[in-house]
Structure 1
Amino acid sequence: MSPRAPRARAGAVHPRVWAPTVVALLVAGAVWEHVARDNPYVLPALRAVGGQLVGEPLFYLRNAWTTLSEALLGLAIAALAAFAVAVAVSESALLRRAVMPLAVVLNVTPVVAIAPALTVAFGFGVLPKVLVAALTTFFPLLMNTATGLRSVPREVLQVFRTVHASRWDVLVRLRFPSALPYVFAALRVAFPLSLVGAIVAEFTAPGASAGLGTVISVASANSQLDRVFASIACLALMGVLLLAVVTAVERRVLSWHASQGR
């Protein structure tokens, strides 16, 4: 009898999981190189983009950090404001009817139209960029958090009322845990959106001296496509890393929830 094959190592990922992604990336890279070879004024060669990142790593790290700090600060402000408003509208139908239409109007207003006005009002510093990132992420955080706070099963809520639990106890022990899956779903959308908001604000801020949005604007004006796409690559990498962090935290915090079932 032949000896048993050794068991797969714990935590090993089967090639069927990662192989399609690798194949898709290779195909996309091949198509990119083909287009870049025939149309150098449309796409730069991947080696030129890589050369930018390898040749000036500190330049891109410094500007990426500027954009990331603006995005994360704006997201933090939006999260605090969204949670406060979501608690208020979940506790009061009157407030809900008054506030939610205003939130919808804010959401459908193009952020590109708001950014220049904020720059005029608050100057050319960090504040308008942070505010644009906050406005970009506020609505999805508000809607998901408010929906989560109101998604408590009636039977469980009735049990809390039967034992005369205070509103604070209901909020902390019942509503907030029920809302966590909705909050993390919103964060998976809001983290990349915060980068979009920061970039838009940097595009519309004349005289800005740092940030990937500024690098893209200046490089586009000078037809430096390799620098433009190197900055875009940095943004894409930051978005992927932020999404990975949110997913890892969600799995740890919501390990008890059915959404994390394997």
Structure 2
Amino acid sequence: MVGGPPVGGLVRSWWRPSAWAPAVVALVVLAAVWQLLAAHLVAQGQTYLLPLPADVLSELAGAPGTYLADAWTTLSTALLGVLLGGVLAAALAVVLSEVPLLARAVLPLAVVLNTTPVVAFAPALVVAFGFGRTPKVLVTAVVVFFPVLVTLLQGLRAAPPDALMVLRSLRASRSEVLLRLRLPSALPALFTALRVVLPLSVVGAVVAEFVAAGSSSGLGTLITTSAASYQLAPVYAAIIVLAVMGVLLLGAVVLVERRVLARYAPGRR
């Protein structure tokens, strides 16, 4: 598997207290520090710097429907971006794995694209496509594209040489080698890429919502409008929702990875 601990062991370890207890302790300590710091600032009359945890929880409890609707807007944008960017990157990775000369020409351009801050693309996309969902999905797709391309290309090139020689000795066609060997060998790399890009896609969607100031929904829009009016409780509530969203996405990928690799690449779990 390309990077990360064995998936099966990771998933099983979630159910052990030794795995999640340190994280719970860290969250409790963080909440305590937050409470002390916020209370100190309130006592100093600086209520605009940091809200109390109770105020943030009250904000979440008082308008759960609003946060769920905005979370769905941001999440659906992120997932559409992953679908678009991931499919394009996967298709290009397959082509580049079969045509090394083309890979040497395209990869430097992809590196340049990856080093350009995504926020630089966002205003141009908003001007071109308006304030709807399209520019946000495109921004997210740009964020996703390069990590999937590079990681999946490495996975496609990592097919076992012995198995490759056997297939070639049997006069297997390129498509047969791809379907029977290269793609199954690249599955761990694909899930490694997904573990990286799914949280990144949420970041990309939020950045796009920041830039597309005319948007009416989304957690990024909620953060922008709340911060502009110095209402920090909704800002921190949205941040908490985004954090939970990222954790759930990562957990979903790990669970799906375990099942898929157990079926299609049992030796690479």
TM-score class, shorter: over 0.9
1:144 pairs with 2:151: yes
What amino acid is the match of 1:174? L
Alignment of 1:238-257 (within 5 A): 238-255=245-262, 256-257=265-266
CA gap 1:130/1:14 in 2 versus in 1, 3 angstroms: closer
> Which structure would you say has the larger Rg?
1
Q: RCO higher in 1 or 2 (8 Å CA, sep ≥ 6)? A: 2
Compute the displacement of 1:206 (Å).
Answer: 2.5
From 32, 35, 40, the equivalent of 2:34 is 32
Between the aligned partners of 2:232 and 2:268, the Cα distance in structure 1 is 42
The runs of 5 or more residues in structure 1 that have no matched partner are: 1-9
Distance in 1 (alpha carbons) for counterparts of 2:20 and 2:79? 30
SS of the counterpart of 1:254? helix
Which position in structure 1 is the counterpart of 2:132?
Answer: 125
What's the CA shift for 1:14?
4.0
Work out the percentage of aligned pairs sharing the same amino acid.
Answer: 55
Per the TM alignment, residue 17 of structure 1 is displaced from its structure 2 partner at its CA by 2.7
Tell me how far apart the structure 2 counterparts of residues 230 and 190 of structure 1 sit (CA, whole Å).
23
Instruction: Choose the corresponding residue for 1:108, options 110, 115, 118.
Output: 115
How much has 1:248 moved relative to structure 2?
Answer: 0.2
2:170 aligned partner, one-letter code: V
Superposed, 1:31-70 pairs within 5 Å as: 31-39=33-41, 40-70=47-77
Deviation at 1:155, TM superposition (A): 1.5
Which residue number corresponds to residue 192 of structure 1? 199
Q: Secondary structure at the match of 1:247?
A: helix
Question: CA 1:99–1:16 in structure 2 vs 1: closer, same or farther (change >3 Å)?
Answer: same
Answering whether residue 72 of structure 2 is matched by residue 72 of structure 1, we say: no
Q: TM-score under structure 2 normalisation?
A: 0.90
Match 2:164 to one of 154, 157, 165: 157
Structure 2: unaligned runs, 5 residues or longer: 1-11, 42-46
Computed over aligned residues only, the root mean square deviation of the Cα atoms, in angstroms, reads: 1.6
| 2:23 matched residue in structure 1 | 21
Shift of 1:16: 2.6
Q: What residue identity is the alignment partner of 1:209?
A: S
193, 217, 223: which one pairs with 1:210?
Answer: 217
- 1:201 pairs with 2:229: no
Deviation for aligned residue 1:18: 2.6
* Distance in 1 of aligned mates of 2:15 and 2:255: 17
Measure the CA separation in 1 of the matches of 2:195 and 2:165.
Answer: 32
CA drift at 1:180? 0.6
Deviations 1:203-246 (A, max 9, x none): 01121111110000000001111000001111111111100100
SS of residue in 1 equivalent to 2:50: coil
Say how many residue pairs are matched: 251
